[in-house]
Chain A
């Protein structure tokens, strides 16, 4: 009687044994090598990640403004559907609204969690002079300055400690988590 069925290969007779022997699927997966992210944890964040986090936050604030505008318009339509006319808001008002929402949002998120959703996505946190979380006034002032003068972020490019203009003024920093 002969058997032609396939069997797991036997381990090599000499040399180093194969990891897991004839059952390579039994080898535990290798531990992942420490990423550069872990090595950079706690260090000042660079321009690209901070800009990306700001873009996410501005997008969220814009979405909130749009949602609020749609709600107001819908409410107006329900009140006077026959005389309803869709009017586009002035761009300046949109900018002001987005800036206001951003200010409130950043103040709340930096105070409560130490990071906004953009920071969360990019793995950042906003810290005070000694690395602590910002208190309410500190966060509010920083939020106002960031909303009023967004180009201040470009100072990160030239700052030797990756600080924006607002960070220089308020002694704050944005660090990798």
Chain B
């Protein structure tokens, strides 16, 4: 009995289902839209759905693997995206100090291949762009020289060794000795020097002649005074030796 009832009900159900199915297909979407439009779906989801749990069950790797990133990127209109981004606002909100403080400069430097960097630098161009005159103008040469211990530097210089290595013949060859001699003669006024020394020589000769004449005078006077037995010598106190 029960079985018969059950099968009968099932037949009725299936028949109803077959008869009502088109009707339900036509009515249900409208009813659902009407219901959903009157419901706060977002609030219901927020209230009743455990999003975290669903997210935890998601296989993100599988989802990512199925994503065709190239196609997504190809469809992106980056210009429009960038046009819509307010870069000034972004920059204003950036805390550059914090960013820089977070950078581990030591690690950055460790990872840098300085040799390769230096090899890539065109030192010649760098030097060409350096204004050496300005640098030299800013150098206080007097202070630099004050800090240099010239004596100790000279003590360490082997002057004899340097002189031994000098090719004197080449130096003389390049010195234009004749022109140098002409210049020196012109500067020291050698003719005037010779005239002066000649004058000095003649003065010496005259002085010598006078001194010898004086000595001869005294010698003759002594002789004559002895012959004349003159004991007190000549008058006016002029002494006569040997009397």
Contact assessment for B217 and A160 in the assembled complex, using a CB-CB cutoff below 8 Å: no
B210 contacts which chain A residues (CB < 8 A)? 37, 49, 121-123
B3 contacts which chain A residues (CB < 8 A)? none
B235 contacts which chain A residues (CB < 8 A)? 160-161
**A46 contact from B156, B214, B230, Cβ within 8 A:** B214
What 0/1 pattern do residues 146 to 180 of B give for CB contact below 8 A with A? 00000000001011100000000000000000000
**In the assembly, what is the distance between CA of A37 and CA of B217, in Å?**
11
Contact assessment for B209 and A122 in the assembled complex, using a CB-CB cutoff below 8 Å: yes
**In the assembly, what is the distance between CA of A82 and CA of B158, in Å?**
86
**Known contacts A47-B220, A157-B224: does B159 contact A35 (CB below 8 Å)?**
no
Contact assessment for A157 and B220 in the assembled complex, using a CB-CB cutoff below 8 Å: yes
| A176 in contact (CB, < 8 A) | yes
B216 contacts which chain A residues (CB < 8 A)? 46, 48-49
**In the assembled complex, how far is the CB of residue B67 from the closest CB belonging to chain A, in whole angstroms?**
78
Contact assessment for A158 and B228 in the assembled complex, using a CB-CB cutoff below 8 Å: yes
**In the assembly, what is the distance between CA of A44 and CA of B211, in Å?**
15
Closest Cβ neighbor of B206 among chain A residues: A121
Contact assessment for A44 and B234 in the assembled complex, using a CB-CB cutoff below 8 Å: yes
Contact assessment for A160 and B234 in the assembled complex, using a CB-CB cutoff below 8 Å: yes
Contact assessment for A46 and B221 in the assembled complex, using a CB-CB cutoff below 8 Å: yes
Contact assessment for A49 and B214 in the assembled complex, using a CB-CB cutoff below 8 Å: yes
Contact assessment for A43 and B213 in the assembled complex, using a CB-CB cutoff below 8 Å: no
| B215 in contact (CB, < 8 A) | yes
What 0/1 pattern do residues 22 to 42 of A give for CB contact below 8 A with B? 000000000000011100100
What size tier do the contact residues of chain A reach? 20 to 34
What 0/1 pattern do residues 111 to 125 of A give for CB contact below 8 A with B? 000000000011100
What 0/1 pattern do residues 41 to 58 of A give for CB contact below 8 A with B? 001111111001000000
Contact assessment for A162 and B213 in the assembled complex, using a CB-CB cutoff below 8 Å: no
Closest Cβ neighbor of A177 among chain B residues: B210
**A37 contact from B159, B211, B234, Cβ within 8 A:** B211
A123 contacts which chain B residues (CB < 8 A)? 206, 210, 213
| A130 in contact (CB, < 8 A) | no
**In the assembled complex, how far is the CB of residue A79 from the closest CB belonging to chain B, in whole angstroms?**
41
**A158 contact from B206, B215, B217, B224, Cβ within 8 A:** B224
Contact assessment for A40 and B158 in the assembled complex, using a CB-CB cutoff below 8 Å: no
173-227 of chain B: CB within 8 A of chain A: 206-207, 209-211, 213-218, 220-221, 224
**In the assembled complex, how far is the CB of residue B162 from the closest CB belonging to chain A, in whole angstroms?**
11
| A1 in contact (CB, < 8 A) | yes
| B238 in contact (CB, < 8 A) | yes
36-93 of chain A: CB within 8 A of chain B: 36-37, 40, 43-49, 52
What 0/1 pattern do residues 143 to 174 of A give for CB contact below 8 A with B? 00000000000000110111000000000000
Contact assessment for B236 and A161 in the assembled complex, using a CB-CB cutoff below 8 Å: yes
**In the assembled complex, how far is the CB of residue B203 from the closest CB belonging to chain A, in whole angstroms?**
12
**In the assembled complex, how far is the CB of residue A160 from the closest CB belonging to chain B, in whole angstroms?**
5
Closest Cβ neighbor of A159 among chain B residues: B234
| A15 in contact (CB, < 8 A) | no
Interface centre among A44, A52, A157, A160 (most CB of B within 10 A): A160
B209 contacts which chain A residues (CB < 8 A)? 121-122
**In the assembly, what is the distance between CA of A56 and CA of B160, in Å?**
61
**In the assembly, what is the distance between CA of A4 and CA of B228, in Å?**
72
Q: Which 6 A-B pairs have the closest CB atoms?
A: A46-B217, A49-B213, A48-B216, A123-B210, A160-B235, A161-B235
A-B contact pairs, 5 of them (CB 8 A): A37-B210, A40-B214, A43-B238, A121-B210, A122-B213
Given A3-B160, A48-B217, A176-B214, 15 other A-B contacts at CB below 8 A? A1-B156, A37-B210, A40-B238, A46-B214, A46-B218, A46-B220, A47-B221, A49-B213, A49-B217, A122-B209, A123-B213, A158-B224, A160-B234, A161-B234, A161-B236
